[in-house]
Homo-oligomer: A and B are copies of this chain.
Amino acid sequence: MHELAPPLTLEQGLRWLDLIGILAFAMSGALLGVRKRFDLFGVVVLGCVTAVGGGAIRDTLTGQTPPLFLRDETYLWMALLGAGLGFALGEGLARFERTLSVFDTVGLALFAASGAVGAINFGLGPLGVVFAGMLSGVGGGIVRDLIANEVPEVMYRRDQLYATAAAAGALVVVLLHPHVTSFQAQLGGALTIVALRWLSRRGWVSLPVRRVPGARD
């Protein structure tokens, strides 16, 4: 008898997308490290921290220690691979910036949505879920920018929704969760984030900035 390989389940599919997000985040961190002229070690650490930082903050805050990336080593290996690729390609990565940006959005969407579902299962209230989901998506990038001694990019790039998209996606998870399965809620949240990112890149949605007299752009 011929044994068919079992088809990829949805959960396995999500995990693969998750790992692709890790890879993309690690490359984005490594690229910043190369630009800052960090050595091999610095580049690799910055890449890994970008990739696993958001999840680490989320897991530590919700008491799920050790965080996932220390329990399932696939994450750390994937982060190392992405950071190593980033160092090897160096500035050459910039040519793939569009592709990286798509990966980055996928990572943001999946991390934020899965972080929100995790926080609901953990028993947090709605605001806590939005906070934890958003942090899962953007925490790694914030840690990356802090270490590189820059103001975190998510704080001011008002031309594009980023953390706001993550928060909105987590909110969609909160609203959908009582009515559908966890998986469907997660998917709805992730798609919301991808859609908002796409709309904001087209310039159709944006965030206000407070005018400060005398300040310049």
Binding site for B on A (CB under 8 A): 33-43, 45-46, 48, 56, 60-63, 65-67, 70, 73, 76-77, 80, 87, 90-91, 122, 124-128, 131-132, 142, 146-152, 154-158, 163-164, 167, 207-213, 215, 217
Contact = CB atoms under 8 A, between A and B. Distances in A.
A40 B154 CA distance: 11
Contact of A70 (B42, B77, B128): B128
A119 to B, nearest CB: 8
A146 B146 contact: yes
A137 B131 CA distance: 22
B39 A208 contact: yes
* Copies of this chain in its oligomeric complex: 3
Given A147-B142, A149-B150, A149-B151, A61 B61 contact: no
A66 B62 contact: yes
17 contacts: A34-B212, A35-B212, A37-B209, A37-B212, A37-B217, A39-B158, A39-B207, A40-B207, A42-B154, A60-B61, A61-B66, A61-B70, A63-B63, A65-B65, A66-B122, A66-B124, A66-B128
Contact of A73 (B73, B125, B158, B208): B125
Contact of A63 (B65, B73, B131): B65
